[in-house]
Structure 1
């Protein structure tokens, strides 16, 4: 085999491959061309190595192949369209598909927490099993209200955001084991019930609600979503459903969990800002609750209405993709 003739005949393809590899953006046709040229070049390199192993030619072609491979396998660059698709389809769709889990969980836990508040308020001796009388007095007199203005607003918002994001992430990540989610939810809702029971017993129930509602509507919803999605992941390997293995079901639910985890990060930031700036604000209670309720209702509309629209679009796309007979 004449090496010079072989290289001369194919050098144009190698140069074209290198040219495509250097471009920042490729059309679909150019991307397909790059893959084909890369596959052909690897064959050419194999032929040269086996028949006429010229080190210069091998080194040069290897360099071009490395460039081609890097272009084919490189990660996707940041694209605002990806962010837009996540906000309009990915995140709301994940919330909508898991809606039965987190809505049911929210209703159950709110009912249990309300019952606990009334139970403790009706029998103050129960609170004394967990708090001393001095702690109860401080909680009612100053600690509960003072908690929301103890630190500078921006620092408090960051602290609340971090704590809530960690709790939600733990619920999602531990969902596969189920029991840790139940423990995390139980301990947090018990604390809310204990505090609420003490405040109601002291005649400060309106204060408790006025300081909890502005941020709590959105904040607790996010926690319920994280827990519901986590339990949904755990249920996937218990009951994977027809036509899927447990591994496939678990992987699918886990991917949805990651989408929800990412989407809840900015949502919990909004809840943290409400808690730091709106809850302790020196404005009428009705105004604070109205602000928190408005943000909460907008989020629910986003999760259920926008999520349903995203679900419909995906269903239609899947229908159009079906092969025709």
Structure 2
């Protein structure tokens, strides 16, 4: 297909579309004509970009399509509508799109944590490298549990939330590099495994689970979601698929920053559990159940709202009029 020939044949229709896109109001007949011209021009642009994405014709038609798209979606949602769109459509769609990446990250993290615990317990001299026997005993018999009682619950909640939210945002933002997320997963998994090994070494394995599970289930889930989001951004850059590399990266980054924003709120709920529920006198089954309920809620939220949104084509990305239509630029 020759773009110049197509431009000559379709030029009048494109010019008419450009004229209608510049008007503030349209009659019923003009609106119907506008929609037909927009659909036709979009197909023309798709055909041109497959053979000559850097051509002058592609640039000109991209701009016409972009202005037409703004005409179609120019009515803002408003604050309330934007919040509803974020929580009901964009965030669950972005979370659901991460399901397989999250599963891989989860298996890797939990597997490495368990292997580290087993290795440290049954490898002679391994725990000695973690610290002296006196230091390890201090951690197992006092420090591990005292950590949850050192500060007032409100202060502790805010501190934990700020730290975890910062980690989550970093892992999503640094996902483009790949290795910071992988390194972070390894370091945190090994730390959890070694802490568990020390607790088991001195017969406090039950306390390890009693104090780490209530908040740890939702907290680790959220952190692993952040890791999955970061790694998906990395994969979109390395394996862009049918899109140009830069376009694929931009789309993934916009969609998955949505996840980072949502995790800030979800981690606050986890922080409340760590500050108020974990050190409480509630029965273990209740404390752990609260954390498990939050995690199940996140999973159900992502599936029930995210699956239909994703099937409808929403990935958590901005709308095209806000994200910017793919306009080809020539250097």
Normalising by structure 2, we get a TM-score of 0.71
Q: Distance in 1 between matches of 2:112 and 2:186?
A: 10
Deviations 1:231-265 (A, max 9, x none): 111111111012x1110110011001210011111
Deviations 1:269-314 (A, max 9, x none): 0010011111111121111111111111111111122211222333
Partner of 1:161: 161
Partner of 1:32: 24
Residue 129 of structure 1 and its aligned partner are, at CA, apart by 0.5
Partner of 2:246: 247
Change (3 A) 1:297 1:124: farther
Change (3 A) 1:130 1:292: same
Q: Distance in 1 between matches of 2:295 and 2:238?
A: 33
Q: Distance in 2 between matches of 1:210 and 1:122?
A: 23
Higher relative contact order (CA closer than 8 Å, sequence separation 6+): 2
Q: Indicate the RMSD between aligned Cα atoms, in angstroms.
A: 2.2
Contact preservation (8 Å) 1:124, 1:198? no
Unmatched segments (≥5 aa) in structure 2: 1-22, 27-70, 315-331
Contact preservation (8 Å) 2:169, 2:260? yes
Residue 134 of structure 1 and its aligned partner are, at CA, apart by 2.3
Q: Distance in 2 between matches of 1:124 and 1:157?
A: 38
Deviations 1:9-57 (A, max 9, x none): xxxxxxxxxxxxxxxxxxxxxx9259xxxxxxxxxxxxxxxxxxxxxxx
Q: Distance in 1 between matches of 2:153 and 2:208?
A: 20
Q: Distance in 1 between matches of 2:76 and 2:312?
A: 24
- Structure with bigger helix share is 1
Partner of 2:209: 209
Contact preservation (8 Å) 1:149, 1:280? yes
Change (3 A) 1:133 1:78: farther
Residue 191 of structure 1 and its aligned partner are, at CA, apart by 1.1
Normalising by structure 1, we get a TM-score of 0.72
Whether 1:269 and 2:268 are equivalent positions in the alignment is: yes
Residue 132 of structure 1 and its aligned partner are, at CA, apart by 2.3
Q: How many residue pairs are counted as aligned between the two chains?
A: 247
The secondary structure found in structure 2 opposite 1:32 is coil
Partner of 2:119: 119
Partner of 1:150: 150
Whether 1:226 and 2:226 are equivalent positions in the alignment is: yes
Partner of 2:301: 302
Partner of 1:38: none
Q: Distance in 2 between matches of 1:274 and 1:32?
A: 52
Q: Distance in 1 between matches of 2:253 and 2:118?
A: 37
Residue 77 of structure 1 and its aligned partner are, at CA, apart by 8.4
Partner of 2:64: none
Structure-to-structure mapping, 1:164-183, within 5 angstroms: 164-183=164-183
Change (3 A) 1:292 1:273: same
Contact preservation (8 Å) 2:112, 2:186? no
Q: Distance in 2 between matches of 1:314 and 1:233?
A: 19
- The structure that has the greater radius of gyration is 1
Change (3 A) 1:281 1:32: same
Unmatched segments (≥5 aa) in structure 1: 1-30, 35-71, 316-325
Partner of 1:133: 133
Partner of 2:235: 235
Contact preservation (8 Å) 2:112, 2:190? no
Q: Distance in 2 between matches of 1:144 and 1:124?
A: 23
